[in-house]
């Protein structure tokens, strides 16, 4: 059984969460987990102006997903930063290109899950994940979130991302805040949770 962790990350926050999701999913026996990224749609010149080009170069070894590859996985866990309360343009462009898979019904019955990153505490963490679910439902996927058995999403002693819809992190307005230990644990939990369900459904 194979799980795909598919992400876009401009500055590294979503990437760090993606690595944690992968690590969590790999805890489950007989599960293979691949980490891949969606294609970049912004030119290198613009990325340099954004200060994102250096990070792009640092993950150049991570393979770019091809649409047909999605068929090979029992579960797909998507990671996207938030853009105005919704998924980023790169992820949207990729999903918009999956029409041929939709026509085939190729993703029907597969597990889909989402995690995200926002600049601020109330910058669209829940709306990004919930609106992402619409695309997954159109593909006939089975949506899995982050259950309350991960009790870290209920803590009040610190500012933290995460909700029952999926793991999330807060990057800060200048991107200086890295995922906290609680947010990383949430991502690991989500990955492991989905791997357990994948094992039950597809073994």
Q: Would you state the pLDDT for residue 173?
A: 84
Residue 68's SS3 state is helix
Average pLDDT over the chain, rounded to an integer: 96
For residue 48, give every residue at least 6 positions away whose Cβ sits within 8 Å of its Cβ, in sequence order, or none: none
**pLDDT band at residue 175 using 50, 70 and 90 as cut-offs:** confident
Q: Would you state the pLDDT for residue 203?
A: 86
**pLDDT band at residue 169 using 50, 70 and 90 as cut-offs:** very high
Q: Integer distance in angstroms from the first to the last C-alpha of the chain?
A: 8
* Model pLDDT for residues 127-156, shown as the tens digit of each residue: 999 999 999 999 999 999 999 999 999 999
Helices (H), the chain: 13-25, 44-50, 53-58, 89-96, 99-104, 125-138, 181-202
Task: Name the pairing type of β-strands 75-83 and 86-87.
Answer: antiparallel
Decide if pLDDT at 69 tops 90. yes
Tokens at 67, concatenated: 């649409």
User: Of all residues in the chain, what percent carry a pLDDT higher than 90?
Assistant: 95
Q: Which fold has domain 2-202?
A: Rossmann fold (3.40.50)
**pLDDT band at residue 107 using 50, 70 and 90 as cut-offs:** very high
Q: Would you state the pLDDT for residue 150?
A: 97
Q: Would you state the pLDDT for residue 48?
A: 93
Q: Would you state the pLDDT for residue 132?
A: 98
Longest dimension (CA), the chain: 48
Task: Name the pairing type of β-strands 168-170 and 111-118.
Answer: parallel
* Model pLDDT for residues 26-68, shown as the tens digit of each residue: 999 999 999 999 999 999 999 999 989 999 999 999 999 999 9
Model confidence, pTM: 0.97
């Amino acid at each position: 059984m194979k799980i795909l962790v598919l992400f876009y990350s401009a500055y590294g926050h979503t990437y760090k969460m993606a690595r944690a999701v992968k690590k969590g999913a790999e805890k489950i026996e007989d599960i293979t987990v691949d980490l891949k990224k969606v294609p970049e749609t912004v030119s290198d010149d613009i990325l340099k102006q954004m200060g994102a080009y250096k990070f792009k170069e640092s993950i150049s070894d991570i393979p770019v997903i091809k649409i047909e590859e999605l068929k090979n996985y029992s579960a797909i866990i998507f990671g996207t930063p938030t853009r105005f309360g919704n998924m980023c343009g790169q992820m949207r462009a990729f999903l918009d290109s999956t029409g041929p898979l939709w026509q085939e019904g190729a993703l029907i019955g597969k597990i889909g899950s989402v995690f995200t990153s926002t600049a601020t505490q109330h910058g669209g963490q829940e709306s990004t994940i919930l609106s992402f679910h619409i695309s997954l439902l159109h593909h006939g996927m089975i949506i899995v979130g982050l259950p309350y058995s991960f009790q870290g999403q209920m803590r009040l002693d610190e500012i933290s991302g995460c909700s029952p819809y999926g793991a999330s992190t807060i990057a800060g307005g200048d991107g200086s805040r890295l995922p906290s230990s609680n947010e990383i644990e949430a991502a690991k939990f989500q990955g492991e949770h989905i791997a357990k369900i994948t094992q039950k459904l597809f073994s």
